[in-house]
Each structure stands twice: as structure tokens, then as C-alpha cells.
Amino acid sequence: TLGVTETVKDDLNPIWTKFFNINYELGKLKVINVGIFDKMKDGETDKTMGSAAFEIGDMLGSKGNITAKRLRNGGVLFAKVRHVPRADGDLYIKLRGFNVKNVDRGFLRRGKSDPYFEISYLEDDSAGWTPVARSKKISHTLNPCWKPTEVALDRLCDNDRDKAIRITVLDHERSGKHQLIGSVEATVNT
């Protein structure tokens, strides 16, 4: 077993932030099996939603190093591989918001946002921003103070401290249609 991702709640189109390091030798067959599970309550067995096998060499030969596999019970699973240089340290970041935009008015317009943040890097192939870290939501606040987050620089910016990264703050919605509160682009050096 390579490992387990974080649980993404209330979202039928999850984007996981967990990366797995795989040693691969060019020309050698290397297959990974990815299983998808619905996380159940404590004490209950997680429900299997499907699985797919990916061959690393095929993925490296595909456009953007991305491969899609249909799941038997419905849905599509996408997997991507990329070469990552050796780690050159970590970014340790503690984020806090003051009077963030309230996009969740709720009942009688008294609700408050449930903010969380994502830290993303920009794909070299113009595929857009890919999240590498995600905080837990903080319920009903416009002044969130999140726990510190640590991200390896090789995952975040290929050890290039001047490469653009994005920090996005979203309002968590149970429906999975999270609302944008705001975002900022920066570099590790700025």
C-alpha cells in the first residue's frame, strides 16, 4: 500500500491534495491500483465505490501525463504523474483572515461563511492550478485562524521559490459547491 489520501467530504468531484512518491525505472512495467471509498461513520466499514489500475509508463506517454479510467459503478477517476526533484525544504505557513467576505448569509441573512484555504501550484502545461494543501474548514466565522500548514517545496513549486503559487479561500458548502471568498498569487520568496 502506498498510502491513503485525506477524506474529501460532501463532494462528488473531489480533488485530493495528497501526493505519493513512486520509484519508477523507465521501460519497466509498474502498475498502481487506486481504490475509491466512501468514508462511513466510526465503527462502520467504508463503502467501496470503485477502483482502477494505472500503468506508470502509459501515463508518462499521455498528454499532460494524465490518464482517465471509468469506474464500473459510474464516474471517472483521473490520475497524474510528474517528475519531482529532490526536496529542498518546506514552506511552513500560518494563515489568518480578518473580516473575510461573507458569502454564506444563511437563514434570515444571519449566517456566516465556513472558510477553508487551498494552496496550489500552476501546472506547466497550462492545465490550471493544482491544490497541494487544504486546511480544515472553520465554521461560522469571518475571522478564521487556521492551524499551521507545512508543504514540501518540491511538491509546491519544484523547488523554484520564484514560481507562482496561489492561496485561495473558499466557503465550505455541504453540497460540494464551495464558494470563492478570495485568492492571492505570490511566490515563496514574496
108: pLDDT strictly greater than 60: no
The more confidently predicted of residues 1 and 29 is: 29
Q: Is the pLDDT of residue 147 over 90?
A: yes
CA distance 120 to 132: 6
What are the E-state strand segments in 123-187?
A: 129-134, 149-152, 165-171, 179-186
**Confidence band for 160, pLDDT divided at 50, 70 and 90:** confident
Strands, DSSP E only, in 20-152?
31-38, 47-55, 66-70, 76-80, 90-93, 115-122, 129-134, 149-152
Over residues 49-92, the pLDDT tens digits come to 889 999 988 888 888 888 999 988 888 999 988 776 666 788 88
Return the pLDDT at 123. Answer: 78
Using CA atoms, how far residue 91 sits from 20, 56, 120, 161, 174, in Å, is: 18, 29, 13, 10, 30
Residue 15, pLDDT score: 84
**How far is 14 from 76, CA to CA, in rounded Å?**
11
Closest CA to 131 of 159, 170, 97: 170
Q: Which of 120, 35, 38 is nearest to 79 (CA)?
A: 35
How does pLDDT run across 110-140, given as a tens digit for each residue? 678 999 999 998 877 667 898 999 999 999 9
Secondary structure tally for the chain: helices H, strands E: 2, 10
Cell of 139: 465554521
Q: Report residue 38 as a C-alpha cell.
A: 466512501
How far, in Å, CA of 89 to CA of 63, rounded? 30
